[in-house]
Amino acid sequence: MSDTVADDPRPHPDVDTPVLARLSTLDRFLPVWIVAAMAAGLLLGRLVPGLDDALDAVRVGDVSLPIAVGLLLMMYPVLAKVRYTELDRVTGDRRLLVASLVLNWVLGPALMFALAWLLLPDQPEYRTGLVIVGLARCIAMVLIWNDLSCGDREAAAVLVAINSVFQIVAFAALGWFYLQVLPGWLGLSTTSADFSVWSIVLSVLVFLGIPLVAGFLTRTVGERTRGRAWYEGRFLPRIGPVALYGLLFTIVMLFALQGDAITSAPWDVARIALPLLVYFALMFGGSFALGMRLRLGYAKTATLAFTAAGNNFELAIAVAIGTFGVTSGQALAGVVGPLIEVPVLVGLVYVSLWAARRWFPGDPTVPQPAPAARPTR
């Protein structure tokens, strides 16, 4: 997405340009491209025999190599936009950090656990898969949603880094708690699962560590050699579209890899989708309302909402497949995750931009339209 958030901290003049008019053509029709990418992936998975096995033949950790490449392409441009010298501005905001920790590691998993049991009481495999999705907090694609909504990039980088550390430390323990301890306390059936801590560490190191280091080095070298004006005015606009191309490529590969599982059980997909839809709506809406209540400003409120609502579906799918098998109901629930999350969060990007102008009057972090081009003679 083109950079429309001005660096000037002073309030911008009121303008009435519609949200859609501020987006580039690529951004404006993003839902269309994403639906097309999902459809293309599903068709490829169904029509090309053995494609899923070929795509999954080479893996990075527990993730197919083509998907890994797409994720790295998707994340690098976003992390290259982060102003790393301004991270102290974010780490000093305890309200944001505490709110994010509570939403991601207390409320999020608990909400998914409750929805899974309420809406899928007779489907233990799907229920377990959803609990795993709820435990996998987003560390990758959330940067795309945050950037599209003109959220605070530095805040997103910090919150993603915190989620990554907690994911390594807490994922296995929370899985044990929500699949065995808490159901036992409530008199419900329990599920035994053995999570590989190393696979979680490797996922974080590859899909966050590599693009984070690359983005940091790119900004550091670029600003030192050519200056910030050139880096942000010339270089970043050139690499910016790569993030969305990487997103679309990842979606095609993901749905080509898992297309058969999705299309062979449409009713099961619909049942799994319902708690996911409720989850995303409640997490995003509640987090956005909390950010407004805490007076975080639009940019940090949007960042808080997207980092709380998003999930690391790559890790959830890898854990479900590695623990329960590729044909298991748990794996299907993990695959349905991005099927619902991607279009829903794209829609929430538009909701966030719409709310910015109406609920944050005078806020300097609200995205503004670019200056109108001068007519050519």
10, pLDDT greater than 60: no
Residue bearing the bigger pLDDT, 273 or 170:
273
* Residues 141 and 155 sit within 8 Å (Cβ to Cβ): no
Task: Write down the pTM of the prediction.
Answer: 0.77
Q: Which residues, 6+ apart, have CB-to-CB distance to 120 below 8 Å?
A: 126, 127, 130, 271, 272, 275
Residue 365 has a pLDDT of 86
pLDDT confidence tier of residue 367, bands split at 50, 70 and 90: confident
Domain spans, the chain: 33-356
15, pLDDT greater than 90: no
281, pLDDT greater than 60: yes
The three-state secondary structure class of 311 is strand
The string of pLDDT tens digits covering residues 188-216 is 998 877 666 676 677 777 777 888 889 88
18, pLDDT greater than 50: no
The string of pLDDT tens digits covering residues 19-58 is 444 455 666 677 788 888 888 988 888 788 777 777 777 7
Residue 161 has a pLDDT of 84
Residue 16 has a pLDDT of 39
Q: Which residue has the tokens 């854990």?
A: 319
Section 160-176 average pLDDT? 84
Q: Which residue has the tokens 């009481």?
A: 121
Residue 195 has a pLDDT of 65
Q: CA–CA separation, 145 vs 64, rounded Å?
A: 23
pLDDT confidence tier of residue 254, bands split at 50, 70 and 90: confident
Alpha-carbon distances, residue 122 vs 151, 271, 373 (angstroms): 40, 11, 59
Residue 247 has a pLDDT of 79
Residue 308 has a pLDDT of 95
135, pLDDT greater than 80: yes
Section 154-175 average pLDDT? 85
Q: Which residue has the tokens 């550091």?
A: 220
**Proportion of the chain above pLDDT 90, given as a percent:** 32
Return the structure tokens found at 22. Answer: 């501020």
Alpha-carbon distances, residue 24 vs 4, 8, 109 (angstroms): 10, 22, 35
Name the nearest CA neighbour of 164 among 200, 114, 125: 200
Q: Which residue has the tokens 């690391």?
A: 312
Mean model confidence pLDDT for the chain? 82
The string of pLDDT tens digits covering residues 312-362 is 876 787 777 767 766 678 888 887 887 788 889 889 998 999 999 899 988
Q: Please spell the DSSP secondary structure of 178-220, one letter per residue.
A: IIIIHHHHTT---------HHHHHHHHIIIIIHHHHHHHHHHH
Residue 286 has a pLDDT of 97
Section 247-271 average pLDDT? 81
* Residues 152 and 300 sit within 8 Å (Cβ to Cβ): yes
The string of pLDDT tens digits covering residues 286-304 is 999 999 999 999 999 999 9
Q: Is 9 exposed, middle or buried (0-12, 13-18, 19+ CB in 10 A)?
A: exposed
CATH class of 33-356: mainly alpha
116, pLDDT greater than 80: yes
Q: CA–CA separation, 196 vs 319, rounded Å?
A: 8
* Residues 65 and 58 sit within 8 Å (Cβ to Cβ): yes
Strands annotated E in the chain: 59-60, 63-64
172, pLDDT greater than 50: yes
373, pLDDT greater than 60: no
Amino acid at 276: L
Residue 327 has a pLDDT of 66
* Residues 103 and 308 sit within 8 Å (Cβ to Cβ): yes
The string of pLDDT tens digits covering residues 47-81 is 887 777 777 777 766 667 887 888 788 778 878 88
